[in-house]
Amino acid sequence: MALRINDVVPNLDLVTDQGEFKLHDFIGDSWTILFSHPKDFTPVCTTEFGAVAQLAEEWEKRNTKVIGLSVDGVEEHKEWKADIESFAKAKPTFPIIADESLEVSKALDMLPADAYLPDGRTAADSASVRVVFIFSPDKKLQLSMTYPMSVGRNFAEVLRALDALQASFGEPIAMPANWVPGEDVIVALSLNDEQAKDRFGSIDVKLPYLRTTKQPS
C-alpha cells in the first residue's frame, strides 16, 4: 500500500546486515530516515550511500537514525560496504535491509510500476527505486521523496528537509521556499495576528496570508 503523510508506518520485520528487528523498535524515540536503492555494487547507489556515511555526525546531532534498503542479500550488503567506505572515505555504520522477498518494498510501495516479477530480478525491473522516507519519533511518515534509478539524491536537501520538519514539529509555523536553518519562518494561518504576536513576539506581515517571524529557538 502507498504510505501517506501522517500514516503510522507498519511495524515490519526487517532482515539487515546488522541483524533482524522490528521497524518500530529501530525507530524507538528517534527521527528515522529510510532510503532505498536499486542495487548493491552499482555506481549511483555507491555515491549515495557514501554521501549518507559522510553525514554521520549530522544525523547524530539531529537524533536521527538512517537505514538503507535494497533487494540484495545480507552478504552482498556487507561486501558492498567496503566499496562504499573506500570511495567515500567514511564508514557506513548504518544497517541496510536485505529485502530479497520484496516484502518491505511492496508494503511501502517502493517498486516501479512493472516491478512485480517473480524472478529475473535486475536493477531495471524488480529492484526498488530511490525512495526517501522520514519518520518522526511517533512512527508517522512526515516526508517522502521518490527518484528514478537514473537520478542520485541530494542528501544536503534531505538534511535541509529534516531540519525543517524538526523545527516545525508541533509548532504553528511552516518553512518558505529555499529556507535554511536560521532564516525567518512562516506563521501558520491557524493563528491570527494577535495570537502570532503573543506567541512569537513580532511578525512581518508581507500579505494578509503571508506573515513571517524569526525561527523559534
Contact 94, 66 (CB under 8 A): yes
Contact 80, 88 (CB under 8 A): no
H-helix or E-strand containing 45?
A: helix 43-54
Choice among 14, 45, 108, 164 that is catalytic: 45
Contact 97, 68 (CB under 8 A): yes
Our answer to whether residue 165 is catalytic in this structure is: no
User: Would you call 108 helix, strand, or coil by DSSP?
Assistant: coil
User: Would you call 174 helix, strand, or coil by DSSP?
Assistant: strand
DSSP structure class, residue 216:
P
Enzyme catalytic residues: 45
